[in-house]
Amino acid sequence: MKAIPFADQLILPDLQTSGIIALSGGADSVCLTRVLCQMGCRPVLAHLNHQLRGNESDRDAAFVVQLARAENLTLELDSVDVKSRTEEASLENVCRGIRYEFLLRVARKHHASWVATGHTADDQAETVIHRILRGTGLQGLQGISPKRMLGENVEVIRPLLKVTRSEIEAYLQQLGQSFCSDSSNLDSQFTRNRIRHKILPVLKEESPALVELLGRLAEQAGEVQNYLGGLAESALRDCEAARAGRTIVIKRKLLPSNDVLLKEMVRLLWIRENWSAGDMTQNHWSSLVAMIRDGQARADFPGRIRIINDGRVLLLEPF
């Protein structure tokens, strides 16, 4: 058996518990499968056919069946007609949503505690660049999390997040392991592909270690964001009173005195309440903080959330 050359860069799940691998058939998830098997793990493979690339999608599904057989692993295969369910523009997001629903379903069925995906250091770099180009704060600079909860007791984990695509391809070649290529990765109508094929090469010419540097930046942003999140949680506990139905009640006198912390605290509240945090821009958060500080009587925010400054308390509610 060949040693795994990037073994010390792996972010491993608990190999003693059962887990799922999200297997597209591409180099990254095929590598992930081979690596985890080599480490003595017996994951269940999960493949969702999005039916977006005609014969190519079917070829990928057939490849995955073969790989499962070769590795003697259980395979959960499903198929969905995404195209009929969505518009072109939001296609990527819709696919992601459907895919993670499927993965959670498979995890539940097999009593798995983790779902591993094949995201690489290059994916991380592309995500960070994408966020920067779209406009981001510290929150977005974290890029892809190495681990996050997918549902109760089920975690998504990215074992290859510190391994580069070229390390992965070299390893597969060494194993003589084939994999599928996704022709839509070349389609320049997707921002992601323009970043991969046009923007990153220009940046790497100036900074050959860029993928690693962006990975470290994302990691540091994650550490700081995590620390701030903890402080914000504790600040929220200090100033939140019992809720009145759908209305959140905050004691103004106990609000954190620092604006960075206050902004983080209200963001946390938005996420906890499932209000549409995604529709709040940096400007919205800043003006929310300003209105709380100024004692401005009332303002409405995206997602139909109303804030009322009512003397000693601050009321936040959907309307």
Question: What is the distance between the alpha carbons of residues 307 and 309, in angstroms, rounded to a whole number?
Answer: 7
The yes or no reply on residue 241 touching its own copies (CB under 8 A) is no
Tokens standing for 271?
A: 């996420």
Identity of residue 30 = V
Minimum distance, C-beta of residue 141 to its own copies, in the bound complex (Å): 8
Q: Please say which residue, 216 or 243, places its beta carbon nearer to its own copies.
A: 216
Determine which residue in the list 88, 152, 206, 294 makes contact with its own copies, applying CB under 8 A.
206
* β 114-116/154-157 pair status: parallel
The yes or no reply on residue 261 touching its own copies (CB under 8 A) is yes
x/- track of binding to its own copies for residues 116-135 (CB under 8 A): ----------------xxxx
Minimum distance, C-beta of residue 303 to its own copies, in the bound complex (Å): 21
Determine which residue in the list 37, 94, 138, 299 makes contact with its own copies, applying CB under 8 A.
138
Helix (H, G, I), strand (E, B) or coil at 60: helix
Q: Please say which residue, 118 or 140, places its beta carbon nearer to its own copies.
A: 140
Cβ contacts of residue 234 below 8 Å, gap of 6+?
A: none
Determine which residue in the list 214, 239, 248, 316 makes contact with its own copies, applying CB under 8 A.
214
Determine which residue in the list 227, 244, 254, 304 makes contact with its own copies, applying CB under 8 A.
227
Q: Please say which residue, 103 or 221, places its beta carbon nearer to its own copies.
A: 221
Helix (H, G, I), strand (E, B) or coil at 46: strand
How far, CA to CA in Å, does 114 sit from each of 11, 97, 147, 155? 13, 17, 10, 5
Candidate ranges 15-23, 89-97, 112-120, 220-228; the one touching its own copies (CB under 8 A): 220-228
The burial class, CB within 10 Å (0-12 / 13-18 / 19+), for 123 is buried
The yes or no reply on residue 220 touching its own copies (CB under 8 A) is yes
The yes or no reply on residue 199 touching its own copies (CB under 8 A) is yes
The yes or no reply on residue 217 touching its own copies (CB under 8 A) is yes
How far, CA to CA in Å, does 139 sit from each of 105, 118, 217, 266, 267? 28, 22, 12, 14, 10
Helix axes 55-71, 27-38, angle to 10 degrees: 10
The yes or no reply on residue 313 touching its own copies (CB under 8 A) is no
Give the annotated binding-site residues. 24-29
Candidate ranges 36-44, 50-58, 166-174, 219-227; the one touching its own copies (CB under 8 A): 219-227
The yes or no reply on residue 202 touching its own copies (CB under 8 A) is yes
The yes or no reply on residue 216 touching its own copies (CB under 8 A) is yes
Q: Please say which residue, 37 or 261, places its beta carbon nearer to its own copies.
A: 261
Across the chain, where does the E strand assignment appear?
19-22, 44-49, 75-79, 114-116, 147-151, 154-157, 248-251, 298-301, 305-310, 313-318
Cβ contacts of residue 209 below 8 Å, gap of 6+?
A: none
The yes or no reply on residue 173 touching its own copies (CB under 8 A) is no
| Angle, vertex CA 146, rays to CA 144 and CA 152, nearest 5 | 100
Determine which residue in the list 62, 70, 213, 297 makes contact with its own copies, applying CB under 8 A.
213
* β 305-310/313-318 pair status: antiparallel
- Residues contributing to the site for its own copies (CB under 8 A): 132-138, 141, 191, 194-195, 198-199, 202-203, 206-207, 209-210, 213-214, 216-217, 220-221, 223-224, 226-228, 230, 258-261, 282
